[in-house]
């Protein structure tokens, strides 16, 4: 059995300027574009033109990925488009899992994963430099991961003083998850800890703000948002959120290495 090119493509945050040349070429080389309706609409119109588009709404991930596999098996070069990076909370893993489930694991080598600018990188760039030191990423969606597991991971990351990036922070169905996460953060962070909020990064309606933990309002957050909780050293520099890497402690003001500082 053979399969036509099957690519899982990251579109980046949404601005066509952040669509990588590799991703653009992958879409241009496809006969069929498959994806969540909102993400398909992020594909530049000139790339959608003349190509079959299979778009579905939320909660149809299995159907989309199976349709993409079917199209590739039928001989049509196919791309599954994802926002951000396809391997970060997206569809790359599911494509491989479905191939395995369908007894087609031998075809996995033919799947190309085309990276994109992850949402957390886009959000961090708009905020300043909050991810300069170790960080952890946690999704608050409990559709696929039980909430007690999410809580344990949050507690571990916050307790270890990681900067914490929160994906899927709040929806109508689970409006209290972010409140619980912030309450956990307050046990490990001071009230002035900067909390970055980016909504609709690099898309129309973009919103960027930084608020002290004690004053952060979860009601300002929705599923189109990324929340970044600073660590114990995160600070503000001229209105930008910055987590120091440690250079200022290691080097003297003239750029020479401070005595007694190792690599």
Decide: 40 and 55 in contact? Cβ < 8 Å.
yes
Q: According to the model, what pLDDT value does residue 263 have?
A: 41
Q: According to the model, what pLDDT value does residue 259 have?
A: 57
pTM: 0.93
Q: According to the model, what pLDDT value does residue 258 have?
A: 63
Q: According to the model, what pLDDT value does residue 2 have?
A: 87
Decide: 188 and 258 in contact? Cβ < 8 Å.
no
Q: According to the model, what pLDDT value does residue 59 have?
A: 83
Counting as low any pLDDT under 50, the low residues of the chain are: 261-263
Q: According to the model, what pLDDT value does residue 175 have?
A: 73
Q: According to the model, what pLDDT value does residue 171 have?
A: 81
């Amino acid at each position: 059995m053979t399969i036509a090119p099957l690519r899982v493509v990251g579109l980046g945050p949404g601005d066509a300027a952040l669509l990588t040349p590799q991703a653009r070429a992958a879409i241009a080389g496809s006969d069929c574009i498959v994806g969540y309706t909102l993400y398909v609409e992020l594909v530049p119109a000139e790339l959608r033109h003349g190509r079959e588009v299979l778009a579905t709404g939320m909660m149809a991930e299995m159907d989309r990925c199976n349709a993409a596999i079917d199209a590739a098996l039928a001989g049509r070069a196919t791309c599954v488009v994802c926002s951000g990076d396809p391997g970060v909370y997206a569809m790359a893993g599911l494509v491989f899992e479905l191939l395995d489930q369908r007894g087609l694991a031998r075809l996995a080598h033919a799947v190309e994963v085309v990276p994109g600018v992850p949402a957390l990188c886009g959000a961090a760039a708009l905020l300043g430099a909050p991810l300069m030191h170790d960080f952890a990423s946690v999704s608050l969606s409990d559709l696929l991961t039980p909430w007690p597991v999410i809580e344990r991971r949050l507690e571990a990351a916050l307790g270890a003083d990681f900067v914490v990036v929160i994906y899927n922070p709040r929806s109508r169905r689970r409006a209290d998850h972010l409140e619980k996460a912030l309450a956990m953060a307050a046990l490990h962070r001071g009230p002035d800890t900067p909390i970055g909020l980016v909504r609709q990064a690099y898309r129309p309606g973009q919103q960027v703000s930084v608020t002290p933990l004690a004053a952060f309002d979860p009601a300002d957050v929705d599923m189109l948002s990324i929340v970044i909780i600073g660590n114990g050293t995160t600070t503000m520099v001229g209105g930008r959120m910055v987590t120091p890497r440690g250079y200022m402690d290691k080097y003297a003001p003239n750029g020479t290495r401070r005595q007694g500082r190792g690599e």
